[in-house]
Amino acid sequence: MICIPITARTESGMAAMMAQAAPLADVLELRMDFAPHASLEPLLRNRPCPVIVTCRPAREGGEYAGDETARIALLQKAVDLGAEFVDVELDSAARIRRGPHTRLIVSHHDFTRTPDHLEEMHRHLIQAGADVAKFAVKANDVQDNLRVLRVLRNTKHPTIALCMGELGVASRVLGRKYGNFLTFASLAAGRESAPGQVTVEELRGMYRYNKIGPKTALYGVIANPVAHSMSPAIQNAAFAALGIDAVYLPFKVEGDPAEFVRAFRELDAQGYSVTLPHKQAVIPAMDEVDDSVRQAGAMNTIVNRAGRLCGSNTDIPAALGAIEEALGGGAPGPAHPLKDKEALIVGAGGAARAVAYGLAARGAYVMIANRTHERAVALAREVAAQVVHMDRLASVRPQILINTTSVGMLPDVQDTPVPASALRKGMIVFDAVYNPPETRLLREAKAAGCVCISGVEWFVRQAALQCQLWTGRPAPHMAMEKVLLERLSRR
């Protein structure tokens, strides 16, 4: 079930929000502590769907700061009026008289941490008479999700268990696979009742929450930061388009990604995307890696093959595929279209490294320029490339020019890494930056008659290749690109 908390500050505001939320939810939570002057009776009388009545005291992270006797009296009234659920904290549960129509949610909240001994706490909630036991705890580490999901997996008692905070999103979505009684979703961004709640639109649309079941396969992206990652939107859209029973989640991994991967083996995830800053540090957790990872020393994809974790790098074939298509295609081999082509890479970070390895392996003549010259020298040495000074870009005249710096990225859209004087008709200009989809570099390249490749193309191709590795089916490239462009246009 999906529960939307009603967090308006007035009775009329609550009534309006209930009407708006009801079509999107199975149950609404009337947060009476948010609207201390609201009258419960009319709200209950006119409720459009089942409700939970909650009046959370400040000591458990709520907004109620008044008299405790009055608070208990309000909850008792909710029971007497036949609200479907009343939420009462563990330390107050004994003060509520039961009624025939109301199920008691006995709850515990910890906004500071995920305590040890969750099982013991869960037992206490049940012993206190919970029809539904509930605990919401703050995740300080992504592995706290595992501990919460373990409780859900091991109990038959109706239970709501979740991690709060940015690190807890996985538990809010994946809980359903392990029998979570319900999860909370906000009606809209900014209307959350607790940190880390996703919007109901995301929960239903992007995560397809109502379709998650015991057999749903788990995928995710390992990153830090992860909040603005586009990968959950496009990979979940791909699974939906392919009709695959799978969900793809964001995992904000602040520590060692190899340790995360080992710990999360318990959930038998079928694959991960790996992105900044973990593309190298995750390698030791793999059972095997393919040639692309061995060559570039970085990976962005984990595939679970019958329990063996296999590392791969789709950044390289995705970038090369986009350039090859611009060159008119052709199969790899001695007559490869990239052979002997002059390619200038601007930048010497992770993206440059992937592109440089790929181009060098296909026989291109690679040149590298970078703001920090020594980094260009170091990368050039690794891939046997030439180094070009940044102030000589206009005199190089390569056939392919690739920007792998973040210059031109939102919000600095007026910046460009390459002067317009360096752009010539017929040159292939590839910008790794995908936000905005058309950078100043690409605009000026288009005006100069260059063949342009946007970072969107690279991003979608690497994601599509991941999807293909995981599912064994051709990825819905168009659907993925559509979702990415739609998300980017919202920013």
Q: Does 280 bind ligand NAP (CB under 6 A)?
A: no
**349 is a contact residue toward ligand NAP (CB under 6 A):** yes
Residue numbers 313-342 binding ligand NAP by CB under 6 A = 315
- By CB under 6 A, how many residues form the interface with ligand NAP? 25
The stretch among 71-79, 147-155, 350-358, 437-445 that binds ligand NAP (CB under 6 A) is 350-358
Q: Are 315 and 351 contacting, i.e. CB atoms less than 8 angstroms apart?
A: yes
Residue 466 lies near ligand NAP (rule: CB under 6 A): no
User: Which C-beta is closer to ligand NAP: that of 352 or that of 465?
Assistant: 352
Which of 2, 407 has the CB closer to ligand NAP? 407
Which amino acid belongs to residue 350? Answer: G
Q: Binding of ligand NAP at residue 357 (CB under 6 A)?
A: no
Task: Please say which residue, 177 or 353, places its beta carbon nearer to ligand NAP.
Answer: 353
Catalytic residue among 33, 108, 109, 177: 109
Q: Is 196 in the site for ligand NAP (CB under 6 A)?
A: no
Q: Position 126: which residue type?
A: I
- The helix (H) or strand (E) run that includes residue 478 is helix 477-490
CA distance 358 to 376: 16
Contacts of 376 (CB under 8 A, 6+ apart): 348, 368, 369, 370, 387, 388
487 binds ligand NAP (CB under 6 A): no
Work out the angle at residue 470's Cα, subtended by the Cα atoms of residues 254 and 142, and round it to the nearest 5 degrees. 20
Q: Which stretch binds ligand NAP (CB under 6 A): 77-85, 190-198, 240-248, 401-409?
A: 401-409
Cis amide prior to 225 (ω within 30 degrees): yes
Q: Taking the CA of residue 327 as centre, how many other CA atoms within 13 Å lie in the half-sphere pointing to its CB?
A: 24
- Does the annotation mark 109 as catalytic? yes
Q: Give the Cα separation of 305 and 269 in Å (integer).
A: 10
Q: Which stretch binds ligand NAP (CB under 6 A): 124-132, 151-159, 367-375, 473-481?
A: 367-375
* CB-CB contact of 388 with 398 (8 Å): no
Per-residue CA distances from 175 to 245, 390, 397, 405 (Å): 15, 51, 55, 39
Please identify which of the residues 279, 336, 341, 477 carries the catalytic annotation: 279
Q: Please give the helix or strand (H or E) that residue 305 lies within, else none.
A: strand 301-305
Is 425 one of the annotated active-site residues of the chain? Answer: no
Near ligand NAP by CB under 6 A: residue from 181, 272, 458, 470 = 458
Contact 193, 31 (CB under 8 A): yes
Residue 432 found at the interface with ligand NAP (CB under 6 A): yes
**33 among known catalytic residues:** no
Structure tokens at 336: 């490869």
The least distance separating ligand NAP from the CB of residue 76, rounded to whole angstroms, comes to: 56
**Applying CB under 6 A, does 372 fall inside the site for ligand NAP?**
yes
Point out the residues that are catalytic. 109, 134, 279, 315
List interacting residues with ligand NAP (CB under 6 A).
276, 315, 347-352, 370-372, 375, 404-407, 409, 417, 432-434, 455, 458-459, 462
